[in-house]
Amino acid sequence: MLHAIADGVERRSEELALVETMDNGALLRSHRRGVMPRVAHNFRFFADRLLHLEHEEFLTRGHTNHVTWDPAGPCVLITPWNAPLMLATWKVAPALAAGNTVVLKPAEWSPLTASLLADIAAEAGLPPGVLNVVQGYGSEIGGTLTGHPDVRRVSFTGSVPTARRIAASAAANLTPLSLELGGKSPLLVFADADPDLAVDLAVEQYDNAGQVCLAATRILVERSAAPEFTRRLAGRIARLRQGDPREDATDIGPTIHPRQLERVDGFVRRALASGARAVAGGHRVGERYYAPTLLTGVEQDSEIVQEEVFGPVLTLQSFDSEDEAVRLANDTRFGLAATVATGDRARAARVTERLVAGTVWVNCFFVRDLRAPFGGSRHSGVGREGGTWSFDFYCDLKNTVTAP
């Protein structure tokens, strides 16, 4: 059934890509080439992974302990607007594979592809009531879903304030939670890094107009390399093409909503007022766009360094030693991801060991294998998704002990 849903996603991928772009403003070419194939893969991966779950057996004085993965029961899945179908299917696929029923509530700003997914599942023959999509404002219907006594799992991707409300609501029934939350990830650039790669990694952070939880929005550069790195990065930013996300030539689309644009602009205006300097951008472009922005002269304890902006805004700070780089990198309440650019493998090993993050990339970014765990430390989340970790969450493990 999951493979049949994947077939349906592939058959309708052009429509899904276009609808997703109309809904959230992310680039059509990314939806076509990257996102929709991965959405289909999410279903195929968890369908196949299920077959490889270990049903362990242990012998105790002739008694057999047989461990099985039972479905947990009805699962409520709540998702954000920045990568709607991608993030929804990371949850829907393992929850269904584990044998559960699902109520999916997509974000109110990007509701459409979740409803198309329900159509595709119905066309694939999934029985009515197994995958349910409920549309609505989280503040109005969220509590009804997350506080319902029949619900056995709540999986949420979104912001920290909403996570707190959901945790409080789920506490009434002790419903187990998986939380994938925000980030303020660092990109550490050491002087021994390949300079072209380091700039490429920085520019990638403007993808989806910076509306990416994993985005490494705090660039930390070794002081000796900072002037040249900054000059080259500013040059690359100046060449980014902002415009219609349906055009192939566009690098940066709009922010999702005028309210999000207002929020991003507020962060930048307050940073500039407290002494930051915009090496690039620092302003709106028309009604829906924000110029790709690079801020220097920012303090470690300032709002712009500590809080998630969720827009095309990067800060740049310098460090003098590995110790200082690690200290700055770890000095926020988040711990979602980190990226390290260095030409020295021994340094990479030393630094990555000390970073607090659910995912660390060395000389790369956004490489994701569904077999690996994904999630955040500290305020970036609770639990891990991916591979067996998803089944850990969506199943109740049962040990049956049988006498000889």
Q: Which residues bind ligand NAD (CB under 6 A)?
A: 78-82, 87, 105-108, 138-139, 142-143, 146, 157-159, 162, 165-166, 180-183, 213, 308, 310, 336, 376, 381
Distance CA 331, CA 325 (A): 10
Q: How far is the CB of 163 from ligand NAD (least distance, A)?
A: 7
Distance CA 13, CA 120 (A): 11
Measured from the CB atom, is 182 or 253 closer to ligand NAD? Answer: 182
**Two structure tokens written together for 377:** 């430390």
Identified catalytic residue from 10, 14, 57, 180: 180
Measured from the CB atom, is 162 or 293 closer to ligand NAD? Answer: 162
Name the phi and psi angles at 103, rounded to 5. -115, 115
Measured from the CB atom, is 24 or 317 closer to ligand NAD? Answer: 24
Q: How far is the CB of 33 from ligand NAD (least distance, A)?
A: 20
As beta bridge partners, residue 220 has 188, 317
Q: How many CB atoms lie within 10 A of CB 337?
A: 26
Measured from the CB atom, is 81 or 206 closer to ligand NAD? Answer: 81
Q: Is 180 a catalytic residue?
A: yes
Name the phi and psi angles at 225, rounded to 5. -95, -10
Measured from the CB atom, is 142 or 253 closer to ligand NAD? Answer: 142
Do 315 and 305 contact (CB within 8 A), yes or no?
yes
As beta bridge partners, residue 399 has 67
Q: How far is the CB of 154 from ligand NAD (least distance, A)?
A: 8
Name the phi and psi angles at 230, rounded to 5. -65, -40
Do 195 and 187 contact (CB within 8 A), yes or no?
no
Name the phi and psi angles at 51, rounded to 5. -70, -15
Do 397 and 69 contact (CB within 8 A), yes or no?
yes
Q: How far is the CB of 38 from ligand NAD (least distance, A)?
A: 14
Q: How far is the CB of 263 from ligand NAD (least distance, A)?
A: 10
Annotated catalytic residues are: 180
